[in-house]
Structure 1
């Protein structure tokens, strides 16, 4: 059972998402919050696997909330779900530790799929957000690329193979098939990659790989 928290200052949005998610047999909405402050309180009181977090909220916005959620002893995975796909929102959310970025006009089935993917350790980005990241990659300066490459030098050749596929959006199962590994071995490699690079999740690892021009 995937335990989900919904964080949005719009009560109707929370209701709609709760109806959608509670309709899935393996998903349970265990908490709701109207702002970041309440989200931290709820995540502390309940075990939450995945948090759907809006960006623009009173008291504490979504970016600050993501940072604090990721710092908890048992941090939930986070999907940012917002009306706006502004560059600053995409970058700030992913830098803060979000595992996904979706717009609120995303098809309900895709939102549900995102919850499953993120809970399983993958990432999910709205196409508009992915476009922003590609544009950012093409705008990466040489010093940024050199700094990113220095961090990738900490990895073994096999870990670089895994990171290359991860940065292209491959799931653990996809990577296992492509590299003829067990999926459990891929998971171990991914854990080692995140630790070696000093990043919080797959999305941040993929961003670093793109900055280093490991993949296009």
Structure 2
């Protein structure tokens, strides 16, 4: 009777799976230690492959880390940008809230992403800046259509508003709290009302502020 235990040498992973494992392991190592202190040995061990396999797949360390940053940037762009492109929720507040909640989920699911992108910025690769700019294009267009329902023509101000939204969200999802942190829903509601409600108040009480940005 078979025991289900594999005999002989372990199965060699397909190349694509090896690459994926190495990229993930390298992202986690960079997030913990930075580019300089992350070692190929640690990355290979975490990925379950040999050092030789890492070098064969990616060449030198610099090439590996460049691919790590590019991979993290693309994964972040797709994950964070997806709800912004979703046209099924036309109402501004609900749409904005869904996007803020998605950012929190992304940081929980991919805790190494922003540390890797910040490390890239320190090393001279403007990956985080590039990600924000790429997302700003999507969010500005999507939010502009929804602001119109409130009679708000944001014009060029939409880019400034989106930049503010991202800065606040990135800061809030990564803040450290003394004791038990607030409920995530409360933070998402705070962001939603502070941004959407804030712009609506600007429109009615200080419309010239937005007008000067058009």
Q: Which has the larger radius of gyration?
A: 2
TM over 0.5: no
More helix by share: 2
Give TM-score, length-normalised by structure 1. Answer: 0.30
Give TM-score, length-normalised by structure 2. Answer: 0.30
